[in-house]
Structure 1
């Protein structure tokens, strides 16, 4: 699950987690960590219910929610770096005069920015209602494969239905458990589905050494170097500057 998924509604996105009925637990929409209801979670010599535990997890693993959302790619937020700075200052409760002074702007400019943002929020709500009425209410609308949070170069290649994805998996892999890839396709949609499936086998909480990652990828497909390169290139993974550590992007 990630922020692009259908179930990540506005409240889920603001909180950073959602309740999953099927699993009777709270799931982090950033990393997928699940805290089951009915369990008590000991954290730093304290005991938390599932919902309190996931709130602690989100704050300490992913940071303050507004800051975390503002770090998302501009393709998802449409927010510029300047707007991010202004939003953080506004959220801190600093008066408009002080914000204006710190940014070398006039107070009237800050007031206008506030007004513009309120108007954009109204437009976004209306657009969401229109979108849901036009597409999501229609049973004939194909379900699209969710786009991962750090996707790069978002274009038509990401318009993959779940039916298409299942067909690609069926023909490109000889086995899904354990994962065994027949061939690494040069076609963009197939490449995306393949990489998404491979990324799903990795532990989102773990930092892998290059040797560890190579061993995992080689078991999936002999050309593990190509898989590793495209996992980075397509935004599924990141690595340290010296290439010693690799991890899934959250």
Structure 2
């Protein structure tokens, strides 16, 4: 299994990255929604702890996975790889000597010394590459005569999986909303807020990033990153100050503020097994946590055992998650969210009756 290494060392060590609203597994790309408590049997995990649980159960040790990458990834010989693995297992030098059939203890000590030397060399290389990158940024970000910033495109580390390793281009624009905002915010750094661009100039900037640069250009206009005059002959980077003399927009910051301002929608939803028609009806204080629900089912952690068994047997493609009711707080003034959800869930359970052969819910004990 390939692990994404386009992250800082401390992130790779954990095996997952922390995004704005979720944690992302670097090994398989699965996401865990933040702010959700995940039940596993009789134990309840916080979001980040559940991601650690997922990595442990689905992938094992990050150490072992990295070590299994081979010489091209680690730079280690077969003997050094075996040695590291045995040290990680807690073997003594004597046990290692016996298992690797090494003639003397001094040979093992020499191997340990070589590994420490490689560690220092790796640190030196990391520092050199960081200094080189900083130097290149100073050189390449000098504006040219027309005010356009010239630099090579580097995608955010958490979006690296969407880019081709061969030519560095974006492979698809079918990204999640938050990821697309992050991508466009990065691309926006290529534009100067004081410059008026022609369509051809926009295309020259976008074509190296995405083959269908016209689609990317339209996306940037539709999402308000670029503004365009009615004739389509002039483009500008969206700027808070309409007179054009303000700073370039902080698109990421705006997206974060927008997310904070948006109240989460909540209500009643159902999960339908299209194989047998059985239903599971429940409520949620935030519909965005349905991603976490699907992840929980995919990893075998849902508390409803019957639903979990069928999901594991038939696969997620044979289930549909549908929102039954989005609750409007205006109709429930003075009532707290928990009581609203309880009352509306009871109403839907009475209508649908997802019990026995018809569903996965259990009748309430009177």
* Fold shared, TM-score > 0.5 on shorter chain: yes
Name the CA distance, whole Å, in 1 between partners of 2:25 and 2:40.
17
Distance change in 2, residues 1:144/1:114 (3 Å): same
- Select which of 210, 229, 253 maps to 1:167: 210
- Select which of 112, 115, 119 maps to 1:114: 112
Contact 2:17 2:25 in 1 (8 A): yes
Equivalent in the alignment of 2:132: 134
Distance change in 2, residues 1:144/1:76 (3 Å): farther
Query: What is the deviation of 1:79?
Result: 2.3
Name the CA distance, whole Å, in 2 between partners of 1:92 and 1:76.
21
Name the CA distance, whole Å, in 2 between partners of 1:75 and 1:134.
23
- 1:80 maps to 2:86: no
- 1:16 maps to 2:59: no
Distance change in 2, residues 1:66/1:164 (3 Å): farther
Equivalent residue pairs, number: 168
| Structure 1: runs of 5 or more not aligned | 152-156, 177-204, 206-211, 213-250
Equivalent residue runs for 1:209-228 within 5 Å: none
1:38-68 alpha-carbon deviations (Å, 9 max, x no partner): 1101123321101110000001111112111
Equivalent in the alignment of 1:97: 94
Equivalent in the alignment of 2:264: none
Query: What is the deviation of 1:108?
Result: 0.7
Query: What is the deviation of 1:166?
Result: 2.8
Query: What is the deviation of 1:14?
Result: 1.3
Asked which structure has the greater CA Rg, the reply is: 2
Name the CA distance, whole Å, in 1 between partners of 2:17 and 2:101.
40
Q: TM-score normalised to the size of structure 1?
A: 0.57
Contact 2:15 2:27 in 1 (8 A): yes
Distance change in 2, residues 1:83/1:169 (3 Å): farther
Name the CA distance, whole Å, in 2 between partners of 1:4 and 1:143.
18
Query: What is the deviation of 1:95?
Result: 1.3
Distance change in 2, residues 1:166/1:92 (3 Å): same
Equivalent in the alignment of 2:68: 71
Name the CA distance, whole Å, in 2 between partners of 1:166 and 1:90.
44
| Structure 2: runs of 5 or more not aligned | 141-150, 171-205, 220-297, 299-316, 318-366
Query: What is the deviation of 1:102?
Result: 1.7
Q: TM-score normalised to the size of structure 2?
A: 0.40
Name the CA distance, whole Å, in 2 between partners of 1:18 and 1:137.
27
Query: What is the deviation of 1:143?
Result: 3.5
- 1:44 maps to 2:52: no
Equivalent in the alignment of 1:158: 166
Contact 1:143 1:161 in 2 (8 A): no
Contact 2:169 2:210 in 1 (8 A): no
